[in-house]
Amino acid sequence: LCNFMARIPDKIRSIDGSKETLKLTVRITNLWFVGTPNKYEQAEMVFVDSEGDQIHAICKSDHLKSWKADLKDNCTYVMHNFKVVKNDGQFRVCKHEYKLFFIGVTVVREADLHELPFKEFRFVEFANVVAGNCVWPVGWRVQSQFVLSF
């Protein structure tokens, strides 16, 4: 095995804010950019691990230049070292209690990890939507006749 695979990866489920020297093997299932390109822009993404657990990760503009070309939707990575913060904002991308921020010592290596799941869709019957019998993911709400996703 490669040197960067020597340490056993942490699971997203185990992230509890007690350490920042995490080693994660993840797939980026959602990646989007917020702000003005080439001025103030940050990358926001959702990571999923081998257990299907998800966590929100953010790469702010001061670190984005280092990683923008390497971060791609549906690609798999081995990543180390993040700032771990409470996920207690008004609009939460994932239900995980914490979210991750890239920092100066974050390491990102693309890796061929086919066992990591892709984005999971949770379909519901339209009649249940109309009747209000759905449990919506965090950050979703129903307005009038439309389902809005953030």
> What is the pLDDT, as a whole number, of residue 16?
93
pLDDT at 32: 92
Instruction: Measure CA 147 to chain center.
Output: 22
**Homologous superfamily of 3-110 in CATH?**
Nucleic acid-binding proteins (2.40.50.140)
Of residues 89, 111, 87, the one with CA closest to residue 100: 87
Residue with tokens 């994932």: 94
Q: Is 94 within 8 Å of 87 (Cβ atoms)?
A: yes
List where CATH 2.40.50.140 sits in the chain. 3-110
> What's the whole-model pTM score?
0.74
Specify whether the CB–CB gap between 117 and 27 falls below 8 A. yes
pLDDT per position as a tens digit, 99-131: 999 998 998 888 877 776 666 656 667 777 677
pLDDT under 50 in the chain at which residues? Answer: 1, 138-148, 150
Question: Could you tell me where the beta strands, DSSP code E, fall in the chain?
Answer: 23-35, 41-48, 54-59, 76-86, 98-110, 141-143, 146-148
